[in-house]
Amino acid sequence: MPENAHPTFLEAVRREWWIPVVVMVLAGGIALGVSSANPEPLYEGRAVVIIDAPTLSKFPDLPKPDAMIREVASAEFSSEVASRAVVPSETVAAGLQASTRDDPQSQLILTFTSSDEALAAKVATIAAGYAAERAGVIGGKEIWELQRRVSETQRALKEVLKINSEAGRNADDAFKLAAAGTQWEMRMRLYEDTLALRTLRNAYYYNGNLKTPDISPVRRRGATVAGALVFGLVLGLVIAVFREALLSRPPKPHAA
């Protein structure tokens, strides 16, 4: 490329600045008219899964929000949601998206867009519930270990109660005191582990919240106009440079 190519381009745009502006305005006006003339609604089912950020920070095996976004985007996730919603997998994969909100991330937002309001709400609800379910499966190592400890404590407590019952009133005071202390310790451990297990299982929790706004008037019009403005700018610059090149050409010599 010649060294003076870039300055020539800038000079052409500077002299012919009105061409890109006019083309942009025309393209934006046409796009606005076309998008406004289309009354077809576009609904966005929006369900929010609550994220317990402090719990995620304490238990490293639980899936992080970014991992859940990747999970929602997987073909397996879309296939399962489609199966539960009784719709094609391609439909779910094309309209389902996930994002997070706040810092630290405290909300996993699942959205599904469709021209059918009922379908948008149905798929978003199923996806949110399945996302919370999958989080428990992905982070199963710590959950299963805690569940095992709860089960073992429950069995041990039953054995202690059985021994205490068999001893009955004939047991001496030392035995009764030791048995009471053992039961108290085991009940406290069982309570704490059960509470921790519930916390782990609810690290991602969907409480049924759902919104289905019609996003067509804003999103479709904004995206269409923005794209038209960019296209108009590029086309206007090309026209400006081409016009400047034509005007700069030396006149042809007249025949004698």
Distance CA 47, CA 120 (A): 10
The conformation of residue 16, written as its DSSP 8-state character, comes to T
Q: Packing angle between helix 117-138 and helix 65-72, nearest 10 degrees? A: 130
Residue-wise pLDDT tens digits, 163-216: 777 776 676 777 777 878 888 888 888 888 787 777 778 889 998 999 988 876
Dihedral pair phi/psi, residue 113, rounded to 5°: -100, 140
Strand 204-206 relative to strand 43-51: parallel, antiparallel, unpaired?
Answer: antiparallel
Q: Which helix (H) or strand (E) holds 143?
A: helix 140-167
Residue-wise pLDDT tens digits, 30-48: 776 666 665 677 899 999 9
Residue-wise pLDDT tens digits, 201-228: 888 999 899 998 887 655 556 667 777 7
Residues 146, 196 contacting (CB under 8 angstroms) = yes
Question: Per-residue pLDDT averaged across 97-121, rounded?
Answer: 92
Helix (H, G, I), strand (E, B) or coil at 150: helix
